[in-house]
Structure 1
Amino acid sequence: MAKLVLDLTGLKCPLPVLKTRKALTTLAGGDRLEVRCTDPMALIDIPVLIQQTGDRIEDTTRQDDTIIFVIAKTPLPDCSDER
Structure 2
Amino acid sequence: MSQMLDVKGLNCPLPVLRAKKAMKTVAKGEVLTVEATDPNTMRDMAALCEAAGFTLLSAEEQSGVFVFRIQQAA
Tell me the distance in 2 between the aligned counterparts of 1:32 and 1:43: 17
TM-score (norm 1): 0.86
Partner AA of 1:56 in structure 2 = T
Query: Unaligned 5+ residue runs, structure 1?
Result: 76-83
TM-score (norm 2): 0.95
What's the % identity of the aligned pairs? Answer: 35
Q: Deviations over 1:10-59 (max 9, x none)?
A: 00011001000000111111110000000011011110000011010111
Partner SS state of residue 51, structure 1: helix
Count of residue pairs brought into register by the alignment: 74
Tell me the distance in 1 between the aligned counterparts of 2:66 and 2:26: 21
4+ residue runs of structure 1 moved beyond 3 angstroms?
Answer: none
Query: Unaligned 5+ residue runs, structure 2?
Result: none
